[in-house]
Structure 1
Amino acid sequence: MRHAAVLGLSLTVLAAAPVVTAAAGTPAPRSAADPPAALSGRPFVAYRGLRIPVPAGWEVHRLDRDPTRCVRFDRRAIYLGRPGPQADCPARVVDRTEAVLVEPVGDASARRRLWARPDLPARVPLRTTADHRIEMPLPEAGVRVTGTYGADEQALRDTLRASRIAGAWPAEPVPRHGTPDAPDEDDEEDTPEEADMNRPWATGKGFDTCAAPALASMAAWRKAYDVANIYIGGAARGCAQPNLDAAWVRTVRKMGYRLIPTYVGPQSPCSRYRVHFDPKDAAGEGTRAARDAVRQADALGIPEGKPIYYDMEAYDSRKDSCRKPVLRFLDAWSREVARLDYVPGVYSSIASGVRDLGKAGDITKPDAIWFARWDGEPTIYDDLLEEDWWHPHRRIKQYRGGHRERHGGVTINVDSNTVDGRVY
């Protein structure tokens, strides 16, 4: 586990970060949007034509120099550059806090001179999304800025607004991300029968990891695994997804993978996560999460009639104040996902969300369940779940937590699963 350090005090961070210049040495022109007191006097980090203030305690990472760096939105950090296709991410990252990803757009081969106003970031419209993101396109500076936030949206806005357009940016090398060759789509060696791919359920070995792997990595792992999870969206989805789009989904399906589409939305109000739902509006938030999840699934080409699992991490189910709001939330989730013609599923701990759903009466229960019990046993049917709960072909068991595995020359940090359940 890496520990955050104040920029300027950590040699490790400085070695991985670009040159930082003190804000006091090159003051930005005064404008109607001067930085707030918390950012006044903070150092700036420069990338292409943008200079961003670095809040106290934030890390800075140059992705072109560190292409396997995992872009994590659960840590306060500024990431500069395009995420590498095979980042070294943990198996699971849930939650969000204030973080910034600055990605290049446009041609990087020539030195640029900028004529835009330096204080343009203070004036450009910000686009806020349902999953705790703020987008700030700045083609004038050759970048696209994406910020995430947990409980402090205003702190993120202040950081983005305090950025400045630089006068020029130098030519830069195109980063080389060392990855295996892309798979040959004409190679049918591992392609299953069409009937198996269209069946609503699958059995076999599955893995899940925080960020969708590169296509070459998926090809390398195909002989070892039949099913893979993908995190399709949600305000608590903790990792960037540079690879995940509709083309990625189509390609891995052609490889023969079945997929577990999972949405990581707000968590229990009494959990340790920053992003949580309001217990007074549990049903409303569950409904809104379902609608956004369906939008994300549709954008990835996942058709109606396929499952979407809600990731509800462990909570203290002994407390009514925890259990009851979660059940109201998941009841609304299941109702709305089904109304929108997808199949509602839920991922949770066997000791909290799964048992609470199984025992609950007078709620709409998910059609499929994915339960976490890290006992190292791949057996999916045992005496911890009632025999008639989600049976048959409606269970997935996550039996081992994060660990590294290597297949086909590619190492990924994954959780291990046994699948006899609903998948795409």
Structure 2
Amino acid sequence: MRHAVPSGGLLSGAVLLSGAAAVPLVLAVLGAPAARTAPDRAAALSDARSASGRTAAAPRVVRYRGLRVPVPAGWQVHDLDRDPARCVRYDRHALYLGLPGPQPDCPARIVGRTEAVHIQPADRAAGDGRLTGTVVHARQLATLTLARSVDHEARLALPEAGVTITGVYGTDPAALQRLLRGTRVTGSDRPAGPSPAPPPDVRRERTPGAGSAPTLDRPWTKGKGFDTCSAPSLPAMKAWRRAFKVTNIYIGGAARGCAQPNLTSSWLSAVRSMGYRVTPTYVGLQAPCGTRPQRFTARNAAVEGRSAAVDAARRARDLGIPEGAPIYYDMEAYKHGRPACRAAVLRFVDNWVRRLRAEGYVPCLYGSVKSAIRDVSRATGIRRPAAVWFANWDGNPSVYGDPFMPGDLWRPHRRVKQYRGGHRERHGGVSLNIDSDMVDGRVH
């Protein structure tokens, strides 16, 4: 993929610090032109070496907008100002610096997280309906404590540097906490004045609708849909409107794998004004016998199901999604043949459904037709979701007649089928990596 880091792990315009020494990177070694000095550019990328040729013992340090950030061994560093199409991925150890571009080049789907950090100018930070985070002053960084959170994420506003820091973690916040505690504010290379405005697009502008708008107060719709890891720009959504009626958004969760720089309440309002219907989806903890590291257990399944519902409702409200709208829980495939694991999934789903309904939203479920959807359809003694979005990549776009789906459940207008996995399509001159869906179900 185009996101691979070049040999040597170098970013242009970078300065790497090791201990007290600053080592300029000579990009001509890689066949690239020498970088100009730019104080607000990211610094750093390959291991510093001492004059004798031995690897320096001190950790790598990146300078960015008056910050000195320690970079753990094995982490990649990406300068988004120079590479605006790069996808901010939370499933890789990486430090991202700067503003994402209007159209990140992300895969169709990423589920799961590890430790990753994104630092961007506070006056331009965007996404998820929140423009700022918890205020932390420079003097507090060395003793910062990160508590475990339902979304495995921390968002901090650092006023002395004028930046917002978003940090995510896999299962334990300790490693992320160490990195943030090692960060220092120097102020020596912070640019004067506000950061330059991003290209007009996108995140905050309303774009006139394209095509005829459907009846948006009807709780269901029928037609073609697509889902992709990060919400596309408004120009991209406009270009794709003639081909699609429904799109998905990932509103939060401990296993959501992509950043959402475009996803705000104004983006959602603009997309709906184009005539799109939306399936809000929450990607939280996964099954105990699943493949992702973020998992609930047989012991805490009920508690985590309720906690996920509360957080999903909060995030939906932040985006202006009203009560009465559906929210789908993304439960990825798991080894459903294990009885204890299957029982834990059913307890989780039962509590997700009950609590989300109490929060005023319509509880729905995404899952593989051979694991979560099959298990929930056969279960007794639980509250089933009101609608399902089932994955069966057989290439058949029909939501009915699937051999793994019971014919008498979730009908009429309560089914979405994901019938094809990740692939590229091009519409209106814009290319995206998507999954393909057919919809006859609940939408916002």
TM over 0.5: yes
Which amino acid letter does the alignment assign opposite residue 256 of structure 2? R
SS at match of 1:318: coil
Aligned position for 2:391: 372
Which amino acid letter does the alignment assign opposite residue 246 of structure 2? V
> Which one of the candidate residues 267, 288, 296 is aligned to 2:307?
288
> Which one of the candidate residues 192, 195, 198 is aligned to 2:213?
192
Structural mapping, 1:252-401, within 5 Å: 252-382=271-401, 383-401=403-421
Which amino acid letter does the alignment assign opposite residue 71 of structure 1? V
* CA-CA distance at 1:341 after TM superposition: 1.9
1:103 and 2:99 matched = no
Tell me, in whole angstroms, the C-alpha distance in 2 between the residues paired with 1:21 and 1:11: 20
**Is the alpha carbon distance of 1:17 and 1:91 closer, same or farther for their aligned partners in structure 2, counting shifts above 3 Å?**
farther
* CA-CA distance at 1:191 after TM superposition: 3.3
Tell me, in whole angstroms, the C-alpha distance in 2 between the residues paired with 1:413 and 1:3: 14
**Is the alpha carbon distance of 1:2 and 1:197 closer, same or farther for their aligned partners in structure 2, counting shifts above 3 Å?**
same
Aligned position for 2:150: 130
Tell me, in whole angstroms, the C-alpha distance in 1 between the residues paired with 2:205 and 2:137: 45
* CA-CA distance at 1:123 after TM superposition: 4.3
Deviation above 3 Å: which 4+ runs of structure 1? Answer: 1-5, 116-120, 123-129, 170-185
SS at match of 2:389: strand
CA RMSD of aligned residues (A): 2.6
1:174 and 2:200 matched = no
1:51 and 2:47 matched = no
Aligned position for 1:66: 83
Structural mapping, 1:215-226, within 5 Å: 215-226=234-245
Which amino acid letter does the alignment assign opposite residue 44 of structure 1? V
SS at match of 2:261: coil
* CA-CA distance at 1:11 after TM superposition: 3.5
1:228-263 CA-partner distances (Å, limit 9, x unpaired): 000011111111111111111111110000000000
Aligned position for 1:31: none
* CA-CA distance at 1:189 after TM superposition: 4.8
1:11-60 CA-partner distances (Å, limit 9, x unpaired): 3521357321113537xxxxxxxxxxxx9721101111111111011000
Aligned position for 1:416: 436
Instruction: Please identify, of 127-136 and 310-319, the stretch whose mean Cα deviation from structure 2 is larger.
Output: 127-136
> Which one of the candidate residues 264, 277, 286 is aligned to 1:245?
264
Tell me, in whole angstroms, the C-alpha distance in 2 between the residues paired with 1:117 and 1:135: 13
1:332-381 CA-partner distances (Å, limit 9, x unpaired): 00111112221110000001000001011111000100000011111111
Tell me, in whole angstroms, the C-alpha distance in 1 between the residues paired with 2:427 and 2:2: 26
SS at match of 1:280: coil
8 Å contact kept, 1:120–1:164: no
Tell me, in whole angstroms, the C-alpha distance in 2 between the residues paired with 1:25 and 1:15: 19
Instruction: Please identify, of 382-391 and 58-67, the stretch whose mean Cα deviation from structure 2 is larger.
Output: 382-391
Which amino acid letter does the alignment assign opposite residue 228 of structure 1? T
8 Å contact kept, 1:128–1:134: no
**Is the alpha carbon distance of 1:182 and 1:267 closer, same or farther for their aligned partners in structure 2, counting shifts above 3 Å?**
closer
Which amino acid letter does the alignment assign opposite residue 174 of structure 1? P
Structure number having the greater helix percentage:
1
Which amino acid letter does the alignment assign opposite residue 156 of structure 1? L
Which amino acid letter does the alignment assign opposite residue 265 of structure 1? G
Tell me, in whole angstroms, the C-alpha distance in 2 between the residues paired with 1:40 and 1:327: 50
Which amino acid letter does the alignment assign opposite residue 65 of structure 2? R
Aligned position for 2:222: 203
8 Å contact kept, 1:4–1:59: no
Aligned position for 1:155: 175
Tell me, in whole angstroms, the C-alpha distance in 2 between the residues paired with 1:97 and 1:275: 9
Aligned position for 1:94: 111
SS at match of 2:160: helix
1:146 and 2:166 matched = yes
* CA-CA distance at 1:147 after TM superposition: 0.6
Tell me, in whole angstroms, the C-alpha distance in 1 between the residues paired with 2:203 and 2:89: 26
1:374-411 CA-partner distances (Å, limit 9, x unpaired): 11111111132111011111000000001111111111
**Is the alpha carbon distance of 1:350 and 1:75 closer, same or farther for their aligned partners in structure 2, counting shifts above 3 Å?**
same
**Is the alpha carbon distance of 1:156 and 1:4 closer, same or farther for their aligned partners in structure 2, counting shifts above 3 Å?**
farther
* CA-CA distance at 1:135 after TM superposition: 2.5
Which amino acid letter does the alignment assign opposite residue 135 of structure 1? R
Tell me, in whole angstroms, the C-alpha distance in 2 between the residues paired with 1:413 and 1:169: 37
Counting aligned pairs with the same residue, the percent is 52
Tell me, in whole angstroms, the C-alpha distance in 1 between the residues paired with 2:229 and 2:330: 12
Tell me, in whole angstroms, the C-alpha distance in 2 between the residues paired with 1:417 and 1:325: 28
Tell me, in whole angstroms, the C-alpha distance in 1 between the residues paired with 2:143 and 2:302: 36
Aligned position for 1:14: 10
SS at match of 2:166: strand
User: Structure 1: 5+ residue runs without aligned partners?
Assistant: 27-38, 108-115
Tell me, in whole angstroms, the C-alpha distance in 2 between the residues paired with 1:135 and 1:287: 23
SS at match of 2:108: coil
**Is the alpha carbon distance of 1:87 and 1:181 closer, same or farther for their aligned partners in structure 2, counting shifts above 3 Å?**
closer
Tell me, in whole angstroms, the C-alpha distance in 1 between the residues paired with 2:211 and 2:8: 44
> What is the TM-score normalised by the length of structure 2?
0.84
Aligned position for 1:111: none
Tell me, in whole angstroms, the C-alpha distance in 2 between the residues paired with 1:254 and 1:336: 30
Tell me, in whole angstroms, the C-alpha distance in 2 between the residues paired with 1:184 and 1:176: 16
User: Structure 2: 5+ residue runs without aligned partners?
Assistant: 23-55, 125-135
SS at match of 2:439: strand
Tell me, in whole angstroms, the C-alpha distance in 2 between the residues paired with 1:175 and 1:12: 31
SS at match of 2:11: helix
**Is the alpha carbon distance of 1:106 and 1:343 closer, same or farther for their aligned partners in structure 2, counting shifts above 3 Å?**
closer
SS at match of 1:404: strand
8 Å contact kept, 2:308–2:352: yes
Tell me, in whole angstroms, the C-alpha distance in 2 between the residues paired with 1:182 and 1:117: 28
